Amino acid sequence: MKYLKKAASLFVSLLPHINVSMSLFMLTLLITDRFNRAMAFINNDITKGIMFLWCFLIILQSAIFIYKRRRE
Protein backbone atom coordinates (compact mmCIF):
# COMPACT_ATOMS: atom_id res chain seq x y z
CA MET A 1 0.00 0.00 0.00
CA LYS A 2 2.92 2.30 0.76
CA TYR A 3 4.28 1.87 -2.78
CA LEU A 4 0.88 2.59 -4.29
CA LYS A 5 0.68 5.91 -2.42
CA LYS A 6 4.19 6.79 -3.54
CA ALA A 7 3.37 5.93 -7.17
CA ALA A 8 0.13 7.95 -7.02
CA SER A 9 1.99 10.92 -5.56
CA LEU A 10 4.61 10.70 -8.31
CA PHE A 11 1.89 10.51 -10.97
CA VAL A 12 0.09 13.55 -9.52
CA SER A 13 3.38 15.46 -9.51
CA LEU A 14 4.22 14.54 -13.10
CA LEU A 15 0.74 14.95 -14.59
CA PRO A 16 0.81 18.76 -15.03
CA HIS A 17 4.22 18.56 -16.70
CA ILE A 18 2.99 15.83 -19.05
CA ASN A 19 -0.12 17.93 -19.81
CA VAL A 20 1.97 20.98 -20.65
CA SER A 21 4.30 19.07 -22.98
CA MET A 22 1.44 17.29 -24.75
CA SER A 23 -0.48 20.56 -25.15
CA LEU A 24 2.58 22.31 -26.56
CA PHE A 25 2.98 19.40 -28.99
CA MET A 26 -0.67 19.72 -30.06
CA LEU A 27 -0.30 23.50 -30.45
CA THR A 28 2.75 22.91 -32.63
CA LEU A 29 0.72 20.57 -34.84
CA LEU A 30 -2.14 23.08 -35.03
CA ILE A 31 0.17 25.96 -35.98
CA THR A 32 1.97 23.80 -38.55
CA ASP A 33 -1.37 22.74 -39.99
CA ARG A 34 -2.55 26.35 -40.12
CA PHE A 35 0.44 27.62 -42.12
CA ASN A 36 1.08 24.50 -44.19
CA ARG A 37 -2.23 23.17 -45.49
CA ALA A 38 -0.44 20.37 -47.37
CA MET A 39 0.30 18.64 -44.05
CA ALA A 40 -3.48 18.24 -43.43
CA PHE A 41 -3.20 17.12 -39.81
CA ILE A 42 -6.72 18.32 -39.07
CA ASN A 43 -9.26 19.25 -41.73
CA ASN A 44 -12.13 20.76 -39.72
CA ASP A 45 -11.83 24.43 -38.63
CA ILE A 46 -14.23 23.96 -35.69
CA THR A 47 -12.11 21.08 -34.40
CA LYS A 48 -9.01 23.24 -34.71
CA GLY A 49 -10.63 25.99 -32.64
CA ILE A 50 -11.77 23.57 -29.95
CA MET A 51 -8.33 21.94 -29.79
CA PHE A 52 -6.63 25.36 -29.51
CA LEU A 53 -8.90 26.30 -26.61
CA TRP A 54 -8.36 22.89 -24.98
CA CYS A 55 -4.57 23.22 -25.22
CA PHE A 56 -4.68 26.72 -23.75
CA LEU A 57 -6.84 25.60 -20.82
CA ILE A 58 -4.63 22.57 -20.11
CA ILE A 59 -1.52 24.79 -20.02
CA LEU A 60 -3.26 27.25 -17.71
CA GLN A 61 -4.54 24.50 -15.40
CA SER A 62 -1.14 22.84 -15.26
CA ALA A 63 0.67 26.11 -14.53
CA ILE A 64 -1.72 26.85 -11.65
CA PHE A 65 -1.31 23.32 -10.28
CA ILE A 66 2.51 23.49 -10.49
CA TYR A 67 2.50 26.89 -8.77
CA LYS A 68 0.28 25.61 -5.93
CA ARG A 69 2.41 22.47 -5.46
CA ARG A 70 5.60 24.53 -5.21
CA ARG A 71 4.07 26.91 -2.66
CA GLU A 72 3.31 23.94 -0.37
pLDDT digits (tens, 9 = 90+) for 1-53: 788 888 878 888 888 888 888 888 888 888 888 888 787 777 778 778 888 88
- Torsion, CA 52, CA 58, CA 60, CA 65, rounded to 10: 180
- pLDDT at residue 30, rounded to an integer: 84
Task: Domain ranges for the chain, please list them.
Answer: 12-71
Task: Say what the pTM is.
Answer: 0.69
DSSP the chain: -HHHHHHHHHHHHHHHHHHHHHHHHHHHHHHHHHH-TTT-S---HHHHHHHHHHHHHHHHHHHHHHHHHHH-
**pLDDT at position 71, please?**
85
At 29 the pLDDT is 83
Task: Say how far apart CA 22 and CA 15 lie, in whole Å.
Answer: 10
